[in-house]
Amino acid sequence: MIFLATCVIFNAGEFDDLIEPIEPADLLLAADGGLVHAESLGLTPDEILGDFDSLGYVPENADVFPVKKDDTDSMLAIRRGLQLGYRRFVLYGSLDGPRLDHTLANFQALQFLADQGAQGWLVGRSYLATVLKNGSLHFEPHAEGILSVFCMGADARGVTIKGLQYPLENGVLTAGFPLGVSNHFTGSPASVTVESGSLLILYDRKNGFPRQS
């Protein structure tokens, strides 16, 4: 069964506040040190999981994994959400942490979700990040600030950017050149489309979640 609700994951990175309310049907997961963020909001996670090298102790009723493992704690939570049928994921504490390697791992986790036909969002203090695969994102005219687009993996083809300062029509983005960095909203409806491949998209958090097609 596929739910329309959201799998909300708290990771151990920097955290300010929620970008949207937690709904009753949402699944709330705390990955290791992310439990601190959930508790700071007075939230009780549905599940707590990880190796707990960040938190420093094992919470009651936690699902404990060894430190030596292939999955990050964030990936453990993502796999759990997918297992339970969720296809929309919002990850807090996943973009502004002190570990750059974990931030890059979370970008790859977004690609993993896209490969599973799911949509994931990293919520930071100033930015949102998502991976778009073979589809489009549509922004409202009131969107403002910066939007950057990067190729993930193999060449991204059929890339069309509309309504931004630097448009592109049926272009090709590669992982070897940052052509899509630092574009700007212009007060018009904007969209990013990729026909084949994947794009990592980062933009100002204040613009919220765009419509996907």
Band (pLDDT 50/70/90 cuts) for residue 2 is very low
Q: What is the pLDDT of residues 22-36, one digit of tens each?
A: 999 999 999 989 999
Superfamily of domain 131-206: Thiamin pyrophosphokinase, thiamin-binding domain (2.60.120.320)
For residue 77, what are the contacts with CB-CB under 8 A and spacing of at least 6?
7, 9, 11, 29, 30, 31, 49, 50
Residue 3 has pLDDT above 70, yes or no: no
3-125 and 131-206 agree in CATH topology: no
pLDDT of residue 1: 36
Residue with tokens 């574009």: 183
How large is the average pLDDT for residues 44-65?
89
pLDDT score, position 70:
86
The CATH architecture of the domain made up of 3-125 is 3-Layer(aba) Sandwich (3.40)
Q: Where are the domains of the chain?
A: 3-125, 131-206
pLDDT in tens, 120-154: 999 999 999 999 999 999 999 999 999 999 999 99
pTM: 0.93
Q: Each residue of 181-210: pLDDT tens digit?
A: 999 999 999 999 999 999 999 999 999 999
